[in-house]
């Protein structure tokens, strides 16, 4: 079988570099190019010492390398333009960029369907984080009050995180109604952003990477479900899975849980 050819959008970033290293270790995958707004040179050196094209022009990169998959880990405002270009070129799409609006995700789905390609969009590619979200959905059916604390490095562009928002919405969907928000003597700004009756609290500090804790409360008891990202390596099995699966799909698949059959 021919390897799945991949272009990485956001190749100069820390996640992009980690993804390139991970994909390069997979015999079924082949990195054929990198795209970024910041390009120190016109070639990207892979771990084995070989070089592939490196450019700031996504359209020309896709035209010249003809990849099967575009992996996008950039910033929210760059994803949709990239998706439009990829879909037009018949390239499948894997998106890990957070901060996407519902409208953007819907348009990515429409683009994938109209151009007969697959698109996997996930708020989190760490399998442990996906399991944390899955367990929170189970608990949501039995406990009426909950809050989410998400902690990330201070360079993260969005707050609350895409994972926290997706967790809250999935929890409410699982129980079929919003959570009960505990009565307060007066509104307080420090109580966090409310989503489906759940207060979401964002922490941004140097030294953190990505962490989330879902707290449930009931009379006489609490339940805590927590996931901690120790290094960016934890995202790589999920990214690799998505790249291998997206070429078999048509239209939009949202969330890694669908690929894990949870």
| Residues taking part in catalysis | 152, 156
Other CB atoms closer than 10 Å to residue 249's CB: what's the count?
Answer: 17
Q: Which two tokens stand for residue 233?
A: 């390596």
- 241/233 Cα distance (integer angstroms): 14
Burial of 103 (0-12, 13-18, 19+ CB in 10 A): exposed
- Cβ-Cβ contacts under 8 Å for 206 (sequence gap 6 or more): 153, 154
Which backbone phi and psi does 169 adopt, to 5 degrees? -65, -40
8 Å CB contact between 15 and 35: no
For residue 1, count other CB atoms closer than 10 A to its CB. 4
Residue 100: how many other CB atoms lie within 10 Å? 21
């Amino acid at each position: 079988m021919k390897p799945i050819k991949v272009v990485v959008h956001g190749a100069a970033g820390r996640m992009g570099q980690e993804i390139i290293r991970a994909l390069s270790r997979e015999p079924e995958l082949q990195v054929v190019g990198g795209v970024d707004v910041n390009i120190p040179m016109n070639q990207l050196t892979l771990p084995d010492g070989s070089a592939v094209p490196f450019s700031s022009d996504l359209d020309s990169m896709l035209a010249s390398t003809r990849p099967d998959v575009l992996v996008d880990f950039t910033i929210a405002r760059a994803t949709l333009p990239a998706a439009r270009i990829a879909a037009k070129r018949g390239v499948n799409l894997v998106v890990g960029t957070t901060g996407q609006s519902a409208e953007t995700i819907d348009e990515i789905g429409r683009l994938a369907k109209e151009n007969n390609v697959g698109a996997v969009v996930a708020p989190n590619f760490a399998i442990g984080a996906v399991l944390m979200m899955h367990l929170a959905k189970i608990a949501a059916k039995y406990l009426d009050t909950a809050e989410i604390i998400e902690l990330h490095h201070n360079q993260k562009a969005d707050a609350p995180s895409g994972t926290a928002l997706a967790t809250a919405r999935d929890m409410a969907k699982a129980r079929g109604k919003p959570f009960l928000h505990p009565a307060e003597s007066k509104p307080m700004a420090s109580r966090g952003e409310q989503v489906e009756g759940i207060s979401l609290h964002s922490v941004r500090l140097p030294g953190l990477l990505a962490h989330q804790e879902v707290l449930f409360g009931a009379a006489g008891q609490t339940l805590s479900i927590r996931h901690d990202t120790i290094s960016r390596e934890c995202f790589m099995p999920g990214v690799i899975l998505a790249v291998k699966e997206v070429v078999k799909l048509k239209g939009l698949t949202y969330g890694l849980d669908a690929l894990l059959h949870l």
